[in-house]
A and B are shown apart, each in its own frame.
Chain A
């Protein structure tokens, strides 16, 4: 495509996976204990989507990448200090909850509204990227609804590969059941792609890109509008940490032969 793509990556922030999470009752429903204090990261699958977007933009001259994120501003700013060093993008910030307990439909409506308001966005060249599921709500439903609101009916989920074809079409590999990919061709943008892990490693930090991104990120954070989620659509009756702790038997002094015998008996039992 001669003029490149307008790639909008939808990405929330989530607690660092190494943190212990504990639910508490909040005024708007369930929340995480000390949620604002927990270190946060860009949602992992959405981060892969961002790296894939940057890679695609680099290989299609004229392309541009926006990162649309709904999160508390202060937390988003912290995450941006790291993620801004990875790849070039322009931030569109929405001041709202990053909680997993929000409704996917409300979140989709807020994200779609923010995308529609991006100045100069060419909908005929639009690719909406995101993670196929978040590490918070884990619904795997938000992107599809964003696509519907934007009138996009070429949608793909669990994407690991997006290849440009000489005629401008895409060849797309989506994860399906049993460790297999479904292979499709799509005529081109507009399209929605919910990424799984893709094929690219996390880019190294590049301070120059970071400085360049941060010049626009700080004003974007200041401009962030309240997302205006009403809440209350889901009635939570019980929210708890499952009792998953096991009484682990640590066996230190058996020979490999004895261990192997136990394992084989256990497998066959």
Chain B
């Protein structure tokens, strides 16, 4: 019978992330679908009180916590120690966690300490005939596999965006604290804080309803034989401001900026979508001045509705990669779109 441990990081403000609450729902469903399974939630953070109350009514049999100032910020050494301690205390056979930056950094190493197998970027978990099966992607979302393992413990890092987050009422929580001895090695790394891009506003919004991709064509010569980078920047940022969408770019455009050319300076590697960039999840995506080549489009796997504006009717988007391709000048289209959006 499986003993499931769900690990959740509690941020410095005492909150759980949306990805964490989605993992709660995944763990809850899995526990319900496995005969005789029990499940425990393990919280890691400075102050876990509010987070514990938030998940107290999930049906988890036990709430464990590793708490204290040392766990306020994500850091490999302390998080790996906390995860290993919680796994040992719960005697877990299955260890679930959201595939966020905290647990992606620390949990594979903790898995090694526990002698556990690890699979990451899990897109779905199901129980079939008493066995646990997971679905994940290979080759940058080009091949999908359903797989299982016999060995235990088995660590599963679950991607966001596959189930609705747990949203039950808060309740009183009895939390059992698990002591973790502070190690000298923790002090070698100090988390100083966070750094947002040096622009007038954040343009990467994972929860936005729309992804807007600016391709390399924005910086190429237009019909008049000249480049119009300033106008391109104005049109793109105006659209992003008005729609509150998330901004992405194709690899080629990001590479141009890294090579020091004067192109759309607000685009960084963090905006890059595709093979060497992100694979965001948004209900809709609009690509402009982008050819829709495979290394970029693999990053669109989880964009449900896709439209593109490009001058080339034979570009990649026309080859079954978009729902609608408008063959048109993106400058003229986006100027009008911005006008209509007011």
Contacts and interface: CB of A to CB of B under 8 A. Distances in A.
Interface of A: 14-15, 17-18, 21, 23, 30, 32, 44-45, 48, 100-101, 103-105, 108, 135-142, 144-145, 147-149, 153-158, 160, 171, 173-187, 196-201, 233-242, 244-252, 254, 256-257, 259-264, 266-267
Contact of B112 (A103, A148, A238): A148
Nearest to B190: A185
Contacts, number: 281
A187 B188 contact: yes
Given A246-B320, A264-B337, A153 B76 contact: yes
Interface string B242-255: 01000000000011
Contacts of B223: none
B189 A187 contact: yes
Given A184-B191, A184-B192, A248 B324 contact: yes
Contacts of B188: 153-154, 186-187
Interface residues of B, number: 103
B262 interface: no
Nearest to A260: B336
Contacts of B324: 248-249, 251
A197 B270 CA distance: 9
Interface SS of B by simple majority? mixed
Nearest to B293: A18
Interface in B226-244: 243
B112 A154 contact: no
Interface string B171-205: 00000000000010101111111111100001111
B259 A45 contact: no
Q: List the 8 closest A-B pairs by CB distance, nearest first.
A: A179-B204, A260-B336, A141-B108, A256-B332, A245-B320, A144-B108, A155-B76, A144-B109
A256 B328 contact: yes
A169 B340 CA distance: 52
Interface in B150-173: 150-151
7 contacts: A100-B138, A103-B117, A155-B77, A177-B101, A187-B187, A201-B259, A237-B146
A149 B112 contact: yes
A260 B133 CA distance: 45
Nearest to A179: B204
B143 interface: yes
B206 A178 contact: yes
A184 B255 CA distance: 26
Contacts of B306: 246
Contacts of B1: none
B120 A139 contact: yes
Given A30-B145, A180-B195, A235 B327 contact: no
B101 A257 contact: no
Contacts of A236: 145-147
B269 interface: yes
A148 B118 CA distance: 14
A104 B275 contact: no
B119 A154 contact: no
Contacts of B35: none
